[in-house]
Amino acid sequence: MKPQTNTSNLCDEVAVQLSAYLDDELTQQQAQRIGLHLKQCASCNALYAELKAQRTDLKHALLETPETTELLQLEQEPGARGLAFIGWGLFIFAALLLAALFSWQFIASLLTASGLVFWIQLATALLYIGLFVLFLSVLRQRLIARKTDKYKKVKL
Ligand SMILES: [Zn+2]
């Protein structure tokens, strides 16, 4: 009976530290302890695999630039193109929504601010607006580039 309690305690400990383990934030001793337990415990190992897969997905989503995903997906079959289109639509919509919300937040805070705080917030707001305009210009260039690419391919 006692080993079972010990095991479950260790499982709890592993569950808590698993995230730090994946991020290499643990001491060598802690990491070894968890690594050893993962080899022995199927449920913790499953949890570890799941968490690791999630991390990898997230990393890929963050690392893959729109260019690579877009180009790869658009060159594929119509199904993938449709999916890419939906993905881009959602992405652009979310970006615009976030930009609008941030702008609103800044405008609202500008209205209540005064003095130095006002200028700092104004500068920050301009910074964000500048970034947003840059984002739009990049988006526009990309859309134009895509169109001309298509025409080139049709001519070939
Ligand atoms: Zn376990």
Measured CA angle at 41 (ends 37, 44), to 5 deg: 85
What CA–CA distance (Å, rounded) separates 39 from 41?
6
Please, what is the angle between helix 78-112 and helix 66-74, to 10°? 150
**Ligand 1 centroid to residue 25 C-alpha, Å:** 20
* Rounded alpha-carbon distances, angstroms, from residue 77 to 60, 80, 150: 22, 6, 15
The pLDDT of residue 45: 94
Q: How many CB atoms lie within 10 A of CB 109?
A: 14
The pLDDT of residue 110: 67
Per-residue pLDDT of the chain (156 residues; tens, 9 = 90+): 444 445 568 899 898 999 899 988 999 999 999 999 999 999 999 999 999 888 888 777 776 666 655 665 555 566 666 777 788 888 888 889 888 888 888 777 766 656 667 777 778 888 888 888 888 888 888 887 777 665 555 555
Q: Is the pTM of this model over 0.85?
A: no
How many CA atoms lie within 13 Å of 24's alpha carbon, on the beta-carbon side? 0
**Ligand 1 centroid to residue 5 C-alpha, Å:** 11
Indicate the SS3 state at residue 25. Answer: coil
Amino acid at 119: W
**Ligand 1 centroid to residue 41 C-alpha, Å:** 5
The pLDDT of residue 43: 93
The pLDDT of residue 149: 64
**Ligand 1 centroid to residue 7 C-alpha, Å:** 6
**Ligand 1 centroid to residue 49 C-alpha, Å:** 13
**Ligand 1 centroid to residue 55 C-alpha, Å:** 20
What CA–CA distance (Å, rounded) separates 72 from 79?
13
The pLDDT of residue 113: 58
Indicate the SS3 state at residue 27. Answer: coil
Burial (0-12, 13-18, 19+ Cβ within 10 Å), 65: exposed
Q: How many angstroms from the chain centroid is the CA of residue 152?
A: 33
**Ligand 1 centroid to residue 70 C-alpha, Å:** 41
What CA–CA distance (Å, rounded) separates 36 from 136?
50
